[in-house]
Amino acid sequence: MQQPSEELLSLLRSDPPTVVLTGAGISSESGLATFRGPGGHWEGRDPMSLATPQAFDAEPTTVWRFYDWRRTQAAAAGPNPAHRAIVDLESKLSSLTLVTQNVDGLHERAGTKNVVRLHGSLWTLRCTACGTEQKDLRPRLDPLPPECGCGGMLRPGVVWFGESLPRDAMQEAQNAARLCRLMLVVGTSSLVYPAASIPQFAKSAGAFLVEVNPERTPLTPLVDEYYDGPAGEILPGFVSGLA
């Protein structure tokens, strides 16, 4: 296991405003399939072809069943050591903002408090007509997309390919990135924009940029430190170094 550098530990001990940006890789360590990874297909379908507004318009029941499956998988999974290490970091630092591209709710279940959700949540339903959102924490959904009180059809409250990120969430993430002195980029491919631009905001503002990922990404050449391995093995070392 890679140990944190003295430079990183010294920075952490100075209690810097910190942003942690997470992607699907941290969830995969809890056993959840990623869209781009092995095991991501569902009933022979590419998830990327189902996670679009066009797919929901054409096959609402199929897309609904796919997200029902995703909810059951997320409900059965549990936070892993990487999720818990972020909770520990949040408890030790005066300011930590977690910006996540994940929709599974594992960060919240682990106990992280300050969470910015760029891609929405599996546990939210949104009306296609009036836009009203409601929480629904059931592991299983109804067999067919239900109706909102206004008569519109409910859909998963996530951001699909081709849709804009929530303006407020993106603004909050960018502001945190501009103000932070340390950013940890954990388990993300750094391929999906505009989320992939957030580390660049931090870097241009002078933040110390750390990437934790088993594989190199387009971001790797830009970071100050790169830790190549599972987040569940590496992040706990960042916390224990503060003891």
Residues 192, 237: one domain?
yes
My answer on whether 136 and 177 are in the same domain is no
Q: Are residues 52 and 149 in the same domain?
A: yes
* SS3 (DSSP) at 125: strand
**Residues 134 and 192 occupy one common structural domain:** no
User: For position 239, what pLDDT does the model report?
Assistant: 95
CATH of the domain at 57: 3.30.1600.10
Range of the domain at 71: 33-76+121-158
Q: How far is CA 74 from each of CA 21, 53, 143, 159, rounded to the nearest angstrom?
A: 20, 22, 18, 17
Give the chain's domain count: 2
Q: Which residues of 152-186 are buried (b: 16+ CB within 10 A; e: fewer)?
A: bbbbbbbbbeeeebbeebbebbbebbeebbbbbbb
Q: Are residues 55 and 104 in the same domain?
A: no
Q: Tell me: do 27 and 37 sit in the same domain.
A: no
- Output the pLDDT for position 142: 87
Structure confidence at residue 150 (pLDDT): 95
- The predicted model scores a pTM of 0.93
User: Strand 182-186 to strand 208-212: parallel, antiparallel, or no bridges (unpaired)?
Assistant: parallel
| Close Cβ partners of 44 (under 8 Å, ≥ 6 residues apart) | none
How many CA atoms are closer than 13 Å to the CA of 86, on its beta-carbon side?
33
Q: ∠61-158-41 over CA atoms, to 5°?
A: 60
Same domain membership, residue 232 and residue 149: no
Q: Tell whether 170 and 199 lie within a shared domain.
A: yes
Choose, from 41, 83, 107, 119, the residue flagged as catalytic.
Answer: 119
pLDDT of 1 reads 62
83 in catalytic set: no
Same domain membership, residue 142 and residue 93: no
Among candidate residues 158, 174, 209, the one where a domain is terminated: 158
Looking at residue 82, what is its pLDDT? 98
pLDDT along the chain (243 residues), means of 10: 90 97 96 68 77 95 94 96 98 98 97 97 96 92 91 96 94 97 96 90 96 96 96 96 79
pLDDT at position 38: 54
Could you say which DSSP state residue 243 is in? -
What DSSP string runs through 88-114?
HHHHHSS-EEEEE---S-HHHHHT--S
